[in-house]
Structure 1
Amino acid sequence: MAAGPVDYADVIVVGLGPGGEDAAGRLADAGLDVVGVDERLVGGECPYYGCIPSKIMVRDADLLAEGRRIPGHAGTAMVHPDWHPVARTVREATMDWDDKIAVDRLTGRGVRFLRGTGRLTARDEVTVADGDGNETAIRARRAIVLAVGSEPAVPPVPGLARTPYWTNRDAITAEEPPRSLLVLGGGAIGLELGQAFSRFGTAVTVVEGGPRLLPREEPEAHELLLRVLTEDGLNVHTGAEVGSVEYGDSCGFTMRCARGERFTAQRLLVATGRRTPLAGLGVVAVGVDPDARAIPVDERMRVIAPGGGRPGVWALGDATGKGAFTHVSMYQAELVVRGVLGEGGAPAAYHAVPRVTFTDPEVGAVGLTEAEARQRGLAVRSGFTDLAASSRGYVHQTGNAGFVKVVADMLSGVLVGATAAGPYGGEILGALAVAVHARVPLAVLREQIWAYPTFHRAIGDALKDALAGSPAP
Structure 2
Amino acid sequence: MVAPTVSTPDAVVIGMGPAGEEVAGRLADAGWDVVGIDERLVGGECPYWGCIPSKIMVRAGNLVTDAHRVPGSAGISRVQSDWRPVVRHVRAATDDWDDKVAVDRFTTRGGRFLRGTARLTGPNEVCVSGPDDGGTETLLRPRRALVLAVGARPSVPPVPGLAGTPYWTNHDLVEAAELPESLLVLGGGAIALELGQAVQRFGCQVTVLEAQSRLLPQEEPEAADLLMRVLTTEGIEIHTGIEAVSVSRQGGRFTVVCRRGERLSAERLLVATGRRVDLERLGASALGVPADARGLPVDERLRVLGAPGVWAVGDVTGKGAFTHMAMYQADVAVRGILGQGGRPAEYHAVPRVTFTDPEIGAVGLTEAQARTRGLAVRTAVADLAASGRGLVHGAGNDGFIKLVAADRVLVGATAAGPTGGEILGLLTLAVQAKVPLAELRATNWAYPTFHRVVGDALNAL
TM-score between both structures, scaled by the size of structure 2: 0.98
Provide the secondary structure at the position in 1 that maps to 2:143. Answer: strand
Residue 424 of structure 2: which of 424, 429, 437 is its match?
Answer: 429
Instruction: Check whether the contact 1:398–1:423 (CA below 8 A) recurs between aligned residues.
Output: no
Runs of 4+ in structure 1 over 6 Å off: none
Q: Residue by residue, what CA displacement relative to the aligned partner does 1:82-120 show, whole Å, maximum 9, x if unpaired?
A: 000000000000000000000000000011000001111
CA shift, 1:314, in A, is 0.2
Partner of 1:316: 313
Task: Give, in angstroms, the shift of residue 394 of structure 1.
Answer: 3.6
Which residue does the alignment assign to 2:446? 451
In the other structure, the counterpart of 1:329 is 326
The code of the aligned residue for 2:5 comes to P
Alignment of 1:70-219 (within 5 A): 70-132=70-132, 133-219=135-221
How many Å separate the matches in 1 of 2:291 and 2:265?
37
Distance 2:123 2:345 in 1: 24
* Counterpart check, 1:384 vs 2:381: yes
* Contact 1:150–1:275 (8 Å) recurs in 2: yes
Give me the whole-angstrom Cα distance separating, in 2, the residues matched to 1:251 and 1:88. 26
1:276 corresponds to which residue?
277
Measure, in 1, the Cα distance between the counterparts of 2:45 and 2:309. Answer: 26
Cα distance in 2 between the residues matched to 1:239 and 1:387: 29
Distance apart, 1:165 and its partner CA: 0.3
Secondary structure at 1:360's aligned position in 2?
coil
Q: Post-superposition shift, 1:393?
A: 4.0
1:37 is matched by which residue type in structure 2?
Answer: I
Report deviation, 1:391: 2.4
- Indicate if the aligned counterparts of 1:240 and 1:257 stay in contact, CA closer than 8 A: yes
The amino acid of 2:377's aligned partner reads V
* CA distance, structure 1, for counterparts of residue 300 and residue 329 of structure 2: 10
Paired residue secondary structure (1:171): helix
SS of the aligned residue for 2:217 comes to coil
Partners in 2 of 1:34 and 1:106 — Cα distance? 10
Q: Which amino acid aligns with 1:258?
A: R
The one-letter amino acid of 1:131's match is P
Question: 2:214 aligns to what SS in structure 1?
Answer: coil
Helix, strand or coil at the partner of 1:269: strand
Distance 2:393 2:367 in 1: 29
Match of 1:32, SS? coil
1:265 aligns with 2:260: no
Partner secondary structure for residue 278 of structure 2: coil
Note the 1:6-45 alignment, pairs <5 A. 6-45=6-45
Partner of 2:239: 237
The 8 Å contact of residues 304 and 312 in structure 1, kept in 2 or not, is answered as no
Counterpart-to-counterpart distance in 1, 2:182 and 2:309: 50
Residue type at the aligned position of 1:418: A
Task: Report the alpha carbon displacement of residue 304 of structure 1 after superposing the two structures with TM.
Answer: 4.5
Letter in 1 for 2:368: A
Shift in Å, 1:398: 2.8
What is the 5 A alignment of 1:45-84? 45-84=45-84
Partner of 1:220: 222
Per-residue deviation at 1:390? Answer: 2.7
Shift of 1:397: 6.0
Q: Following the alignment from structure 2 to structure 1, what is the Cα–Cα distance between the partners of residues 245 and 305? A: 43
Query: What amino acid maps onto 2:210 in structure 1?
Result: E
The number of aligned residues is: 458
Partner Cα distance (1:153, 1:399) in 2: 33
Query: Where do 1:291-306 residues align within 5 Å?
Result: 291-304=292-305
The C-alpha deviation readout for 1:381-427, integer Å capped at 9, x for no partner, is 00101111232644756314100000000xx2100000000111100
- Pick one of 341, 357, 360 that aligns with 1:360: 357
What one-letter code is carried by the residue in structure 2 that aligns with 1:193? L
1:66 Cα deviation after fit: 0.2
AA matched with 1:423: P
Q: For the residues of structure 1 that align with 2:394 and 2:261, how far apart are their CA atoms?
A: 41
Cα distance in structure 1, aligned partners of 2:12 and 2:218: 35
Does the aligned pair in 2 maintain the 1:305–1:312 contact within 8 Å?
no
Q: Residue 141 of structure 1: SS of its match in structure 2?
A: coil
1:152-178 Cα offsets, whole Å, 9 max, x none, are 000000100000000000010010111
| Counterpart code for 1:419 | T
Give the alignment's TM-score, normalised by structure 1: 0.95
Partner letter of residue 115 of structure 1? R
Per-residue CA deviations over 1:295-342 (Å, capped at 9, x if unaligned) read 111111001478xxxx60000000100000000000000011011111
**SS in structure 2 at match of 1:35:** strand
Where does the alignment leave 5 or more consecutive residues of structure 1 unmatched?
Answer: 467-473
Q: Secondary structure in 2 aligned to 1:385?
A: strand
In the other structure, the counterpart of 1:369 is 366
Partner secondary structure for residue 303 of structure 1: coil
SS at match of 2:9: strand
1:347-396 deviation line (CA, Å, top 9, x unaligned) = 11000000000000000000000000000010100010111123264475
For 1:416, the equivalent position in structure 2 comes to: 411
Contact 2:73–2:392 (CA under 8 A) maintained in structure 1: no
Show CA shifts across 1:250-284 (max 9, x none).
Answer: 24100111011111000000000000100111111
Q: Equivalents in 2 of 1:345, 1:66: separation in Å?
A: 45
